[in-house]
């Protein structure tokens, strides 16, 4: 139901402002007392925790990040404005390009190995007639382990001696000991293997939920059209999962672009920077020198990463919105 004023406003279209003005004049003057009486204070009280927490721990640091990326700060003397120098420093650091390449490589490997796998497993699992719960529990167990614990455990599994856990298992089938994280070539795939192990269960559960929401009539209809099992997967299942597949894809890219835990705990970025990722480089710039970090370079690099991720997030947001509106 429209109030009369609103109806008038709608009716007059652009002239709405002219209608509004007299009503404003009718209102009593705004004083602190009337503000409180109209609930202004309680509104503010409710907004306050959000304003304080976001203000101090989100908005202000974001503004500060932008400022700091153009400054030299050592926490002792006053910051000095240095223009684009920090960005130039990052671009001239050979490790930066190595880190970009490594992060891209990690993301690509994670995509190739980690992306299709959960889908395949979920499709097979959705057909299980008995003990379906057992399958889900087993698949989800790695997700439950605290991430730090699972990395530390795998670090021991990756022991490169012949007596290492994985190398012992390989020895049973006659494969010679592998260097795992001790080689510049094998280190990154080893990190991806662990990351995939740790994350696949979560994605499988998402796909399982999505698979149950595929309308049964669609399969019925496909069967009427004479589709076999592969035909049903290709023409019904995959198109129906398209939306969620896109979302998990972008989430995975956003996640892998910020990978830190694995390289930090497994290799510290080594051997020879073969696993140094962008976030690890940010951390190194800022935090590894006991005499004070290069905060300018660290913020400059994180801003560059942020712009990339923000574009990804916007894409994600658009897609989820379209998806939930549809």
Partner 1 sequence: MKSRKAIAALAIAAVGVGLLAGCSSSDSAGAKNGKVYLTVAPVLPGATADALKALGDRVKEFEKANPNIIVKPIEYQWTGTTFAAELAGGTLPDVFNVPFTDSKTLANNGQLADITAEFKKTSTADKWNKNVLDVATGKDGKIYGIPWGPYAMALSYNREIFTKAGLDPDKPPTTLDEIEADAKAIAEKVPGTAGYMQMTSGNTGGWELATLTNSLGGRLETVGSDGKVTVTTDNDETKQALAWLQKLRWDDNAMGSNFLFDWAGINQAFASGQIAMYMSGSDVIGSLMQANGFDQTKYGVTTFPLADSPDAGILSGGNVDVVNVKDSPAQIAAAVKWIDFYRTQPTVDKAAAVKNAQTLKAGKQAVNAPTLPVFDKSTWQQNQQWIEPYANIPAANIKPFTDGIFDQQIVPEPSAHTQDLYGALDSVVQAVLTKKNVDVDAQLKAVDKKIQALVDADQG
Partner 2 sequence: MSDRTIISSADWKRPGVRIPTTVLHVVLLLLLIAVGLLPLLWLAKSAITPTQDTLQHPMSLFPNGFAWSNLAHAWNDVHIGSYFVNTIWVTLGEWVVQLVVATTGGFALAVLKPAYAKVVSGLVLATLFVPAVVLLVPLYLTILHPPVIGTSLLNTYWAVWLPAGASAFNVLLVMRFFQGLPTEVFEAAETDGAGPFRLFWSIVLPMSRPILGVVSVFAISAAWADFLWPMLVLPNQQIQPLSVRLPAIASQTDLGVYLAALAIASLIPVVIFLCFQRTFLRGGGLGGAVKG
Residue 288 binding partner 2, by CB under 8 A: no
Q: Which position among 11, 41, 141, 152 is part of the footprint of partner 1 (CB under 8 A)?
A: 41
CB 69 within 8 A of CB 86: yes
DSSP-derived 3-state class of residue 72: strand
Quick one: which segment of 10-18, 84-92, 94-102, 314-322 binds partner 2 (CB under 8 A)? 314-322
Question: Angle formed by the axes of helices 147-157 and 165-172, to 10°?
Answer: 50
Tokens in use for 259? 């990978």
| Burial degree of 176 (CB within 10 A; 0-12, 13-18, 19+) | exposed
Q: How far is the CB of 227 from partner 2 (least distance, A)?
A: 10
CB 166 within 8 A of CB 158: yes
Q: Which position among 45, 80, 124, 175 is part of the footprint of partner 1 (CB under 8 A)?
A: 45
Nearer to partner 2, 274 or 294 (CB): 294
**Closest Cα to residue 273, out of 288, 282, 265, 263?**
263
Q: Across-strand partners of 72?
A: 80
Nearer to partner 1, 10 or 184 (CB): 184
CB 264 within 8 A of CB 176: no
Using CA atoms, how far apart are residues 178 and 161, in angstroms rounded to an integer?
Answer: 8
Q: How far is the CB of 302 from partner 2 (least distance, A)?
A: 5
Using CA atoms, how far apart are residues 54 and 48, in angstroms rounded to an integer?
Answer: 10
Q: Please, which of residues 61-90 interact with partner 2 by CB under 8 A? A: 61-62, 64-65, 68, 73, 75
Q: Please, which of residues 24-43 interact with partner 2 by CB under 8 A? A: 39-40, 42-43
Q: Which position among 50, 76, 173, 291 is part of the footprint of partner 2 (CB under 8 A)?
A: 50
**Closest Cα to residue 196, out of 277, 103, 118, 271?**
118
Nearer to partner 1, 22 or 94 (CB): 94
User: CB within 8 A of 46, min separation 6: which ones?
Assistant: none
Q: Please, which of residues 53-82 interact with partner 1 by CB under 8 A? A: 75-76
Using CA atoms, how far apart are residues 31 and 41, in angstroms rounded to an integer?
Answer: 12
Residue 157 binding partner 2, by CB under 8 A: yes
Q: Please, which of residues 272-311 interact with partner 1 by CB under 8 A? A: 272-273, 284, 287-293
Q: How far is the CB of 212 from partner 2 (least distance, A)?
A: 8
By a kind-dependent CB cut-off of 5 to 8 A, residue 183 interacts, out of partner 1, partner 2, none, with partner 1
CB 305 within 8 A of CB 100: no
Q: Please, which of residues 167-196 interact with partner 1 by CB under 8 A? A: 177, 179, 181-184
- The DSSP code for 182 is G
Q: Please, which of residues 196-235 interact with partner 2 by CB under 8 A? A: 197, 201-203, 205-206, 208-212, 216, 219-220, 223, 229, 232-233
- Which spans of this chain sit near partner 1 (rule: CB under 8 A)? 36, 39, 41-42, 45, 48-49, 75-76, 93-94, 159-164, 177, 179, 181-184, 267-268, 270-273, 284, 287-293
């Amino acid at each position: 139901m429209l109030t009369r004023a609103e109806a008038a406003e709608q009716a007059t279209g652009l002239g709405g402002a002219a209608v509004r003005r007299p009503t404003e004049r009718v209102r009593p003057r705004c004083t602190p007392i009337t503000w409180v009486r109209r609930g202004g204070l309680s509104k503010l009280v409710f907004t306050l925790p959000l304003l304080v927490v976001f203000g101090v721990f989100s908005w202000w640091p974001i503004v500060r990040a932008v400022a700091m990326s153009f400054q030299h700060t050592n926490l002792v003397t006053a910051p000095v404005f240095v223009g684009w120098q920090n960005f130039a420093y990052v671009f001239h650091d050979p490790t930066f390009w190595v880190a970009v390449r490594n992060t891209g490589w990690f993301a690509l490997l994670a995509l190739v190995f980690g992306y299709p796998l959960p889908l395949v497993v979920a499709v097979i699992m959705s057909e299980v007639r008995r003990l379906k719960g057992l399958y889900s529990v087993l698949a989800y167990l790695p997700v439950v382990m605290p991430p730090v614990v699972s990395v530390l455990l795998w670090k021991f599994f990756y022991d490169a001696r012949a007596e290492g856990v994985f190398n012992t298992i390989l020895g049973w089938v006659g494969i010679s000991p592998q260097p795992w994280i001790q080689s510049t070539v094998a280190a990154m795939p080893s990190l991806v293997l662990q990351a995939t192990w740790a994350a696949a269960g979560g994605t499988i559960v998402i796909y399982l939920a999505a698979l149950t929401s595929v309308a049964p009539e669609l399969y019925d209809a496909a069967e009427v059209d004479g589709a076999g099992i592969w035909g049903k997967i290709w023409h019904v299942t995959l198109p129906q999962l398209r939306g969620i597949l896109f979302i998990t894809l972008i989430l995975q890219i956003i996640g892998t672009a910020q990978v830190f835990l694995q390289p930090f705990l497994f290799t510290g970025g080594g051997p020879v920077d073969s696993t140094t990722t962008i976030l690890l480089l940010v951390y190194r710039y800022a935090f590894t020198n006991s005499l004070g970090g290069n905060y300018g370079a660290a913020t400059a690099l994180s801003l560059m990463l942020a712009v990339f991720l923000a574009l990804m997030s916007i894409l994600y947001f658009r897609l989820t919105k379209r998806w939930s509106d549809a």
